[in-house]
Chains A and B, each alone.
Chain A
Amino acid sequence: MMRLPRFRYLSPSSLEEAARMLADAGPDGMLLAGGTDLLPNMKRRQQVPGTLVGLRRVADLRERANGAGLRLGAGLTLTDLVRDGQVRDAYTGLWQAAVQVATPHLRNMGTLGGNLCLDTRCNYYDQNYEWRKAINFCMKKDGDTCWVAPGSDICLAVSSTDTAPALMALGARVRLVGAGGERDIPLTDLYANDGIHYLTKAPGEILADVILEPAAGWRSTYWKLRRRGAFDFPVLSVAAAVRLAKGGVVEEARIVLGSVAMRPLEAPEAAASLRGAPLGDDAIEAAAGLAVRAAKPMDNTDFALHWRKRVARAFVTYALRELRGDDVSALRRSIARHELRLEA
């Protein structure tokens, strides 16, 4: 059986206490929320924190508040989102992302914050200690080389979060709490395009909640590519949101690609190209072409990278057609391999 390394466990009861404990632990400390990302990494010795600050007792993190928009505590489980009718109806892309994360069991455990802070993934990195030893390790842990592209100066591990692209398409902001205070930033600013330093938050900061603007007038969607109907991380995803005026004219649009870089990638040119006109076939094709320009899938996930790039373009068209109002349910079912449903 794979065993966790030995560690010290702390169990704060408030966000402030947690932030202080995390600051005190220094670089040796890590936050433990649902455990579905960190604990496997610890068992494989990819991450070996000496101190775990467990967030289970921090009730603030599990709050959900309706105000002008929606405030979602980072400690809400993905299942909490899946069962949330308001999320499904108003923030559909987020709901579609959440409902396709991993498996029901892992969604019962994994949190929204955990999914947003998910460690970047790579076939050279997400391996046991013994395996990584056989390649003399890699840049992200214990080694020097990025085996995905040995000439690369930075780590090319892939951002594999489902909820981040969806939330970025919805223009979400996040609140970060540290020992020295708190700040609120656009979610997009949380990420950097570097497989090791993929989060911009300070080591002592805790992602406390996600803030969503009112969704009135917006439609959103999320398309995920993975081999199987469950378990798998995305190896490509497309999140999109549009605000349509009467007659279907696009007033505002956002397109975000997931799992094609070390961070979720916004496609502002593609989004801009849609503004001021209805979502016609030509406009959709053009936007898809623009959107995938920045996508650089690497050979470190499931599926061949050229194919993933090809599918990225197709997925952008699926997403925009869905937002236009086309019935894409058969396509959706074929790709997701099941029907996405609000959980009872």
Chain B
Amino acid sequence: MKKIHLELTVNGESGEVAFEPYKTLLEVLREDLGLTGTKHGCELGECGACAVLLDGEPVLSCLVLGLECAGRKVTTVEGLAADGRLHPLQEAFADLGAAQCGYCTPGILVTARALLERDPAPDRERIREALSGILCRCTGYLQIFEAVEAALAAAPAGTDAAGVPAGTGRTRAARRLPGARDGGRS
């Protein structure tokens, strides 16, 4: 079958990739780009293991056509660490038992990162909701929630846990105050 050629931006790197046009983003990432960090558990949108960020929003890569991703920004688990350092979420997940078998972990990590970018101080209920689209059979989720909360608390100075530089209205102190959220974003 004739392959199509597309320009994709994955984890900040742009490049051309050739793949069979029936492939989903999941298959392109794993099979044509060698990025096997993104997993699959059903390929039908029923488990969330294949979650990636598409233009910053968590989506299921098993239900996105590869050929609809031209010109869009894809972030996978391989793109979370930067400058040789793990993302605070990754550190917290590794330390706190949030990854047992590790199979749902990539999808959960990218989803948690997107959450923290939208909402720098999510409460437990909000974390539950954001992660409700990914099934984990090992942990019972509680250590995952705790790791997300710990990543919030452990964000290095100058950035928040999402790795976003602190800015007006988004400092840690401001985030802690009820009602101090950036109201313009909702």
Contact = CB atoms under 8 A, between A and B. Distances in A.
Q: Do A and B come from one complex?
A: yes
Interface of A: 1-7, 9, 32, 34-36, 39-40, 43-44, 54, 56, 79, 83, 85, 102-106, 108-109, 229-231, 338-339, 341-344
Given A36-B63, A40-B63, A56-B68, A106 B129 contact: no
Contacts of B133: 102-106, 230-231
Nearest to B56: A108
B129 A35 contact: no
Contacts of B48: 103, 105
Given A85-B186, A343-B186, A108 B68 contact: no
B62 to A, nearest CB: 8
Nearest to B58: A105
B186 A83 contact: yes
Contacts of B126: 341, 344
A104 B65 contact: no
A36 B60 CA distance: 9
B119 A344 contact: yes
Contacts, number: 104
B90 interface: no
Q: How large is the interface on B (under 10, 10 to 19, 20 to 34, 35 or more residues)?
A: 35 or more
Most buried by A among B46, B126, B128, B129: B129
Given A6-B1, A7-B22, A9-B21, A1 B43 contact: yes
A53 to B, nearest CB: 12
Contact of A339 (B62, B122, B125, B130): B125
B113 interface: no
A108 B43 contact: no
Nearest to B128: A338
12 contacts: A1-B27, A2-B42, A5-B22, A6-B22, A36-B60, A40-B46, A104-B58, A106-B45, A106-B63, A109-B60, A231-B46, A338-B128
B61 to A, nearest CB: 10
B159 interface: no
Contacts of B42: 2
Most buried by B among A4, A6, A54: A4
Is chain A's interface secondary structure helix, strand, loop, or mixed overall?
Answer: loop
Contacts of B185: 344
Interface string B127-158: 01110111000000000000000000000000
B132 A230 contact: yes
Interface string B52-70: 0000011110111101100
Nearest to A85: B186
Contacts of A9: 21, 65, 67
B125 A338 contact: yes
Nearest to B26: A1
Given A83-B186, A230-B132, A105 B59 contact: yes
Contacts of B45: 36, 39-40, 102, 105-106
A106 B133 CA distance: 8
A4 B64 contact: no
Nearest to A32: B65
Interface of B: 1, 21-24, 26-27, 40, 42-46, 48, 51, 57-60, 62-65, 67-68, 111, 118-119, 122, 125-126, 128-130, 132-134, 181, 185-186
B44 A105 contact: no
A79 B57 contact: yes
Contacts of A343: 118, 186
Most buried by B among A32, A108, A229, A230: A108
A143 B100 CA distance: 44
> Lowest 6 A-B CB distances belong to which pairs?
A103-B133, A230-B132, A2-B43, A105-B133, A344-B119, A40-B44
B21 to A, nearest CB: 6
Nearest to B60: A105
B24 A104 contact: no
Most buried by A among B51, B58, B67, B122: B58
B22 A4 contact: yes
Nearest to A54: B68
A197 to B, nearest CB: 25
A43 B59 contact: no
A35 B44 CA distance: 10
Contact of B111 (A54, A105, A230): A105
A207 to B, nearest CB: 20
A83 B44 CA distance: 25
Most buried by B among A1, A2, A5, A40: A1
Most buried by B among A5, A54, A106: A106
Contacts of A36: 45, 60, 63
Most buried by A among B45, B46, B64, B134: B45
